[in-house]
Amino acid sequence: MKKFFFLFVTLLLANATILKADEPALGTGIGNKAPELAGPSTNGKELKLSDTRGKVVLLDFWAGWCGPCRRENPVVVAAYQKYKDKKFSVGKGFTVFSVSLDRDQASWVNAIAQDKLEWPNHISDLKWWNSKYAAVYGVRSIPANFLLNGEGVIIATNLRGPALEAELAKLVKQ
């Protein structure tokens, strides 16, 4: 009986190890499962990155005070408008999950309005470079972004200008 129990436990543990090996490791590199982010939106409601699961997601780090970010925003807006309702080989639809490194609520909200960032997912802890979200993803300069598939796995990083459009176009289901 002891041998049977030992064998059973060994097989159970081996099976669990095999199942875990199929899951991508948590991290910020291509092929990694994107770490969870949860934080307050512009109206104080908590939003989670995992709530976007199933869609292709551009996790976009930016700030209202960042000139290069503001110049990149029209590209992100155009991609959102073009791809938000498309079907992808790696997800259904496209959205943006914006993480602001602003430190002033009014400036953050005004930049969203001015740049017409119409997607619903905007969070910030208003801690500038001390943002816990930037720390989790190792973001040391902005703009920075991570493209996630419908399973929340990172499939590309730092797509700017035409590179974002090109990557999304490749992923559209034919």
Is residue 19 a part of any domain in this protein?
no
Q: What is the mean pLDDT of residues 71-100?
A: 96
What pLDDT is stored for residue 10 in this prediction?
A: 46
Above 90 in pLDDT, residue 62?
yes
How many CA atoms lie within 13 Å of 72's alpha carbon, on the beta-carbon side? 23
**What confidence score (pLDDT) does residue 23 get?**
85
Pseudo-torsion of CA 142, 80, 126, 155, nearest 10°? Answer: -60
pLDDT (0 to 100) of residue 22: 77
Residue 82 lies in a domain: yes
Contact call for residues 160 and 39 (beta carbons, < 8 A): no
Asked if the structure places residue 112 within a domain, the reply is yes
Predicted local distance difference test score (pLDDT) of residue 20: 53
**CATH number of 54's domain:** 3.40.30.10
pLDDT at 174: 77
- Smallest CA-to-CA distance from 117 within 102, 133, 132 is with 102
Q: How many domains does the chain have?
A: 1
Alpha helices, DSSP H, located in the chain: 2-22, 67-83, 105-114, 132-137, 162-171
- Determine the structural domain holding residue 49 and report its residue range: 25-171
Domain for residue 127, yes or no?
yes
Q: How many residues are given for the chain?
A: 174
Residue 2 lies in a domain: no
pLDDT at residue 173, rounded to an integer: 86
Quote the pLDDT of residue 18.
43
Q: What is the dihedral of CA 154, 155, 157, 160, to 10 degrees?
A: -130
Q: What is the pLDDT of residue 5?
A: 41
17: pLDDT confidence band, cut at 50, 70 and 90?
Answer: very low
97 occurs within a structural domain: yes
